[in-house]
Amino acid sequence: MSELIICLSTGKGTWGHVSRLIQDGEWEKIFLVTNDFGRENFTSDKPAEFLVIDPNKEINELRDDMYNQLKSKVKVGEVDIGLNLVSGTGKEHMALMSAVLKLGIGVRLVALTKEGIQEV
């Protein structure tokens, strides 16, 4: 079973994608990288942990915030990690990719398609 890290931010229709990805997959743990609005308004049928960021920060600060929140939670080298970047901005995606690479995490980019959850 995999752990899932999802960027949950802005983008029309992206929250529906995120919801279905969570619902349709078999995930050991789910981490949602989001802002205060996402934490307060997004709901999931499965347990998920919110990693709250301030998207107004500079990219390096965002990366460090994400890194510091993920480093004690993700089992580096022990589990398969799925990463989804459908929701959010380029700055958030860059910061999250940088944080994940800095942790030494190998990831599979996953997305919900017409055929179900697939590696991209």
- Separation CA 109–CA 93 (nearest Å): 12
Tell which CATH architecture fits domain 2-119: 3-Layer(aba) Sandwich (3.40)
Tokens of 63: 């990366």
- Among candidate residues 75, 74, 80, the one with its CA nearest the CA of residue 1: 80
What are 107's two structure tokens? 């990831």
pTM of the predicted structure, to 2 decimals: 0.92
Q: Write the pLDDT tens digit of every residue in 12-64.
A: 789 999 999 999 999 999 999 999 999 999 999 999 999 999 999 999 999 99
